[in-house]
Structure 1
Amino acid sequence: MKHQLIMPSSIDHLRNAIIDKLMAISSKDYLVALNKLMESAVEKDVVELSPEQILMLEMSDNDIKNENVIAQDDLDKEDLKWLKAL
């Protein structure tokens, strides 16, 4: 049996190709092993935030709640002014 090389153009295509292959697997042992592999990969994707990062996120939340924000267009204009001053 020849295997077709799939060159996915996006993560969604890759995910769908993997799901298609998973649907064809009938071996319970194989599926259990794959499940363990995926669970360990998901656990590694969890990011632990430092106290400083948590504080920064809380400060950002407070800024948003207090409407202490700036529109992207205004920010871009301020950036350009700053860059020209360099």
Structure 2
Amino acid sequence: MSSEKEIKHRLIDKILSSKNETLLARIDQLMESSISEEDVVSLTEEQNRMLKMSDQDIEEGELISQRELNRDDIEWLREK
């Protein structure tokens, strides 16, 4: 069975190689109609605030690597 990633790559390859405008328009319509309100995630006000804080940290260069984060987590767990 194909993985989701493999299916996406096959579809992208086929779409890129197609010159059939009608087919491409129908694929576009199908994809648009498959997007439902269930796919939209509603965030709480607190979650939105946290995302804005994250954006601000990124803009200010307040970042750490995944390796540093993992190390800090391990140290924190050892203290508990």
Q: Give CA-to-partner distance per residue, 1:18-56, whole Å, 9 cap, x none.
A: xx8xxxxxxxxxx8xx94xx6554123111222221111
Normalized per residue, the structure richer in helix is 2
- Report the Cα distance in structure 2 between the residues aligned to 1:12 and 1:78, rounded to whole angstroms: 32
Identity across matched positions, percent: 38
| Aligned with residue 48 of structure 2, among 54, 67, 82 | 54
Which is higher, the Rg of structure 1 or of structure 2?
1
Which stretches in structure 2 are left out of the alignment for 5+ residues? 15-25
Structure 1 residues 13, 68: CA separation in 2 closer, same or farther (over 3 Å shift)? closer
**Shift, 1:83, TM fit:** 1.2
Q: Determine if the alignment matches structure 1 residue 77 to structure 2 residue 74.
A: no
| TM-score for the superposition, normalised by structure 2 | 0.57
Q: Determine if the alignment matches structure 1 residue 43 to structure 2 residue 6.
A: no
Count of aligned positions: 65
Which stretches in structure 1 are left out of the alignment for 5+ residues? 1-6, 21-30
**Counterpart of 2:73 in structure 1: which amino acid?**
D
Q: Which structure's relative contact order is higher, taking Cα pairs within 8 Å and 6+ residues apart?
A: 2
1:54 alignment partner, SS class: helix
**Counterpart of 1:47 in structure 2: which amino acid?**
V
- Report the Cα distance in structure 2 between the residues aligned to 1:43 and 1:13, rounded to whole angstroms: 24
